[in-house]
Amino acid sequence: MIHTPQTATIMQRTQETKTIFSLQLSFTDPLIQRNYHFHPGQFNMVYLHGIGEIPISIVSDPRHSNGIQHTIRVVGRVTQALSKLVVGDKIGIRGPFGTGWPLEKSIRKDIVFFTGGLGCAPVVAAIKYVLKRRNQFNKVVIIQGVKHADDLIWKQQYQQWQAQSDVQILLASDVASPGWKGHVGPPTELLCQADFNPDNCALMLCGPQPMMIAVCQQLSGQGVREKNIWLSLERNMQCGNGQCGHCQIGPLFACKQGPVFNLEKVKPYLDKIGL
Q: Which residues bind other proteins (CB under 8 A)?
A: 2-7, 28, 47, 49-53, 75-76, 90-92, 234-236, 238-239, 241-246, 248, 250-251, 253, 268-269, 272-275
> Based on CB atoms, which residue is closest to other proteins, 186 or 242?
242
Cβ 97 vs Cβ 5: under 8 Å? no
> Based on CB atoms, which residue is closest to other proteins, 254 or 260?
254
> Based on CB atoms, which residue is closest to other proteins, 133 or 246?
246
> Based on CB atoms, which residue is closest to other proteins, 118 or 229?
118
> Based on CB atoms, which residue is closest to other proteins, 85 or 176?
85
DSSP single-letter state for residue 128: H
Kind plus residue range of the DSSP H or E element containing 154: none
- Least Cβ distance, residue 147 to other proteins (angstroms): 15
Q: 27: alpha, beta or left, given left = phi > 0 and alpha = psi -120 to 50?
A: beta
Kind plus residue range of the DSSP H or E element containing 212: helix 209-221
> Based on CB atoms, which residue is closest to other proteins, 194 or 239?
239
Beta bridge partner(s), residue 92 = 7, 47
96 preceded by a cis bond (ω within 30 of 0): yes
> Based on CB atoms, which residue is closest to other proteins, 96 or 182?
96
- Least Cβ distance, residue 116 to other proteins (angstroms): 15
Burial bucket for residue 262 (CB in 10 Å: 0-12, 13-18, 19+): middle
Tell me the pairing of strands 6-15 and 90-97.
Answer: antiparallel
In this structure, the dihedral spanned by the alpha carbons of residues 8, 259, 21 and 96, taken in order and rounded to 10 degrees, is 10
Q: Find how far residue 87's CA is from the centre of its chain.
A: 24
> Based on CB atoms, which residue is closest to other proteins, 38 or 253?
253
Residues in the chain: 275
Q: Within 13 Å and on the Cβ side, how many CA atoms surround 220? A: 10
Tell me the pairing of strands 110-116 and 201-206.
Answer: parallel
- Least Cβ distance, residue 275 to other proteins (angstroms): 7
Cβ 75 vs Cβ 121: under 8 Å? no
Cβ 59 vs Cβ 70: under 8 Å? yes
